[in-house]
């Protein structure tokens, strides 16, 4: 059976049984049509501009132990590093000088950076008049509030999966309930909310992915990042085979159709699996790229998964490289900060 995507789409938007319609889209045999429709929707709602976010991976210490992640605390083979608060601020200045309008500060869950340290870093970066995103994990409401008061604009916290049992299995010592609470708190505090999932986790089903998409819509998120699962040999998770690049692309496309005006990144993990992954994603619904702005010496140690791109490259090189790539598909780098502009539904 190969029902027309357009009619499914119409139903999807109005449907009371959204899960069934999302599943139908995820299972479509006419993937090209799904990707093209998502591309048209992207153009209609958020245009041809691509927002760049400079990613600074400032610490690879993590107190959590997620089974899929190379930075998990039990992985003793990682050479751990932390970048000094003052040096983080310098990196942000450098990123601004390359023309970035947003800095994303990302790390494992590292208690070294106290609220006071983070607030200082945040307010100094905000003095540069650029947007600031944090991606530093689960915190208390008070901590999220302190970062927000210091000036942080956005927060990234992937839900990873909304399958409660799978979540508990893959994230020992953590709970789906708490993660959802964190995302609600981030929302309450007026951050732009970025979330998303890993596509292809062992034990994950298309049914649970459909529920993940409904969850992202229920927040509703301002940004949704989808990354394919990439097996890391220094983790206890099983290595499973599957076309998680294609799966990620489909999830991304469906998200564009369901939340047409949000920001959707073409993720680094997609380019790890396909040398053209980010450009393919940008032509299937995505409108954001997060180039690496971490100093070259640290890059290879931030090994969430193996095979990460740009390991030997400098922040300046990546900035030029990505702009050329974006121009090669007749798109252009945005000159604005790229906040989510709500435009109502389809």
The span of 82-90, 112-120, 300-308, 315-323 binding ligand FES (CB under 6 A) equals 315-323
Select 10 or 74, whichever has its Cβ closest to ligand SF4: 74
321 contact, one of ligand SF4, ligand FES, ligand 5AD, none, CB 5-8 Å limit per kind: ligand FES
Nearest distance from residue 54's CB to ligand FES, in Å?
11
What is the rounded CA–CA span in Å between residue 202 and residue 241? 9
Select 190 or 275, whichever has its Cβ closest to ligand FES: 275
Q: Catalog residues that contact ligand SF4 under the rule CB under 6 A.
A: 62, 64, 66, 69, 71-72, 108-109, 137
108 contact, one of ligand SF4, ligand FES, ligand 5AD, none, CB 5-8 Å limit per kind: ligand SF4
Select 3 or 181, whichever has its Cβ closest to ligand SF4: 181
Of 276, 285, 278, 267, nearest to 229 (Cα)? 267
Select 255 or 269, whichever has its Cβ closest to ligand 5AD: 269
Question: With binding defined as CB under 6 A, does residue 318 bind ligand FES?
Answer: yes
Select 26 or 279, whichever has its Cβ closest to ligand FES: 279
Residues 287-306 interacting with ligand FES (rule: CB under 6 A): 291-292
Instruction: State how far Cα 328 lies from the chain centre.
Output: 23
Cis peptide before 220 (omega within 30 of 0): yes
Spell out the alpha helix ranges (H) of the chain. 5-14, 18-26, 31-46, 85-97, 115-126, 141-150, 164-170, 176-188, 206-218, 244-258, 268-273, 277-282, 296-299, 315-328
Of 213, 150, 232, 219, nearest to 182 (Cα)? 219
What is the rounded CA–CA span in Å between residue 200 and residue 95? 33
Q: Catalog residues that contact ligand 5AD under the rule CB under 6 A.
A: 68-69, 158, 160, 198, 227, 229-230, 232, 269, 304-305
What is the rounded CA–CA span in Å between residue 251 and residue 281? 11
State the residues that interact with ligand FES by CB under 6 A: 291-292, 310, 313, 317-318, 321-322
């Amino acid at each position: 059976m190969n029902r027309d995507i357009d009619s499914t789409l119409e139903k999807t938007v109005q449907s009371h049984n959204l899960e069934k319609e999302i599943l139908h889209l995820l299972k479509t045999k006419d993937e090209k049509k799904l990707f093209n429709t998502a591309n048209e929707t992207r153009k209609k709602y958020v245009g041809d501009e691509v927002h760049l976010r400079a990613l600074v991976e400032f610490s690879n210490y993590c107190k959590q132990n997620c089974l899929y992640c190379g930075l998990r605390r039990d992985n003793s083979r990682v050479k751990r590093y932390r970048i000094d608060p003052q040096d983080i601020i310098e990196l942000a200045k450098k990123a601004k000088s390359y023309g970035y309008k947003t800095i994303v500060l990302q790390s494992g869950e590292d208690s070294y950076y106290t609220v006071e340290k983070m607030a200082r870093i945040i307010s100094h970066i905000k003095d540069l008049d650029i947007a600031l995103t944090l991606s530093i994990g689960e915190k208390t409401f008070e901590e999220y509030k302190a970062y927000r008061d210091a000036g942080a604009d956005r927060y990234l916290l992937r839900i990873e999966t909304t399958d409660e049992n799978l979540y508990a299995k893959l994230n020992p010592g953590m709970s789906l309930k708490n993660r959802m609470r964190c995302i609600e708190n981030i929302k309450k505090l007026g951050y732009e909310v970025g979330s998303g999932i890993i596509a292809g986790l062992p034990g994950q089903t298309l049914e649970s992915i459909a529920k993940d998409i409904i969850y992202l819509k229920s927040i509703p998120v301002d940004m949704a990042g989808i990354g394919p699962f990439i097996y890391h040999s220094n983790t206890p998770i099983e290595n499973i085979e599957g076309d998680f690049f294609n799966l990620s692309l489909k999830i991304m496309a469906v998200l564009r159709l369901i939340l047409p005006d949000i920001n959707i990144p073409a993720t680094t993990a997609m380019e790890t699996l396909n040398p053209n992954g980010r450009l393919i994603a940008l032509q299937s619904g995505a409108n954001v790229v997060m180039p690496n702005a971490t100093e070259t010496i640290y890059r290879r140690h931030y090994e969430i998964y193996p095979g990460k791109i740009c390991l030997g490259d400098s922040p300046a090189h990546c900035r030029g490289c990505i702009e050329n790539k974006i121009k090669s598909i007749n798109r252009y780098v945005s000159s604005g900060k790229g906040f989510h502009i709500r435009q109502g539904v389809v």
